[in-house]
Structure 1
Amino acid sequence: MKILLKLEYIALFVLGVVMFGQSEYEWWWFLVLFFVPDVSMVGYLVNSKIGAICYNFAHHLGVAVVVFILGNYLNMNELVMAGGILLAHSAFDRILGFGLKYSDDFKNTHLGKIGNKL
């Protein structure tokens, strides 16, 4: 099942890159902005509940799709770009095993615990 999930997230990563390609931005923007969604971790400075809410919002695949669709519908190139980057970044995190966070601990995700599994 782990391999199947990774393949699914690889496909979503590629889709995010394709979505970004529909924007009119140069490809270097993709590289520069790829890790911007991780700024959402700043919520953990308040507490783990706020941190999880902020992180999960910025890393939710559905949010990425909605942002992309809104960008196309409203003809806002910035949202098209943001939707592609959000999807690619979130899928990349999932490939690495970083899932959506539970509010009790940053390392507790919907994909399991982050860290050594001994």
Structure 2
Amino acid sequence: MPVLASPSASAVNWDHQMHTDDGDPGGRLRFASYGDIVQICDIEADGWAVNVQVYDTVHGYNVDEFSVGGNGNCKTHRASNGYNLVEGRYYRFTVALKNGYGLQYHDYGTWKA
């Protein structure tokens, strides 16, 4: 009898990606407009966490902010989990490294949801 493989989780088509602005980037941010998926990953064992802020350019406030630490760890927010962005609106994404002294090594992008 043939063996049927179980369906795998569908891959995310990332529309945008950027890294923290340090010399050897310690953090990565990815965004997929379909499903409003925002993912950050700590990609370096440097003792810093990665932080993202999602800023609504129309209403002028942060609609989401979260962090993750530990080399290899990622954290994801999705529309299906209550993090819905307004379709067609531009949001400013900021990725930075975070330690006890605050946020440093920022990088910015303004992307359409």
**Normalised by the size of structure 1, how large is the TM-score?**
0.28
Q: Larger radius of gyration, structure 1 or 2?
A: 2
Relative to its length, the structure with more helix (as a share) is 1
**Normalised by the size of structure 2, how large is the TM-score?**
0.29
Relative to its length, the structure with more strand (as a share) is 2
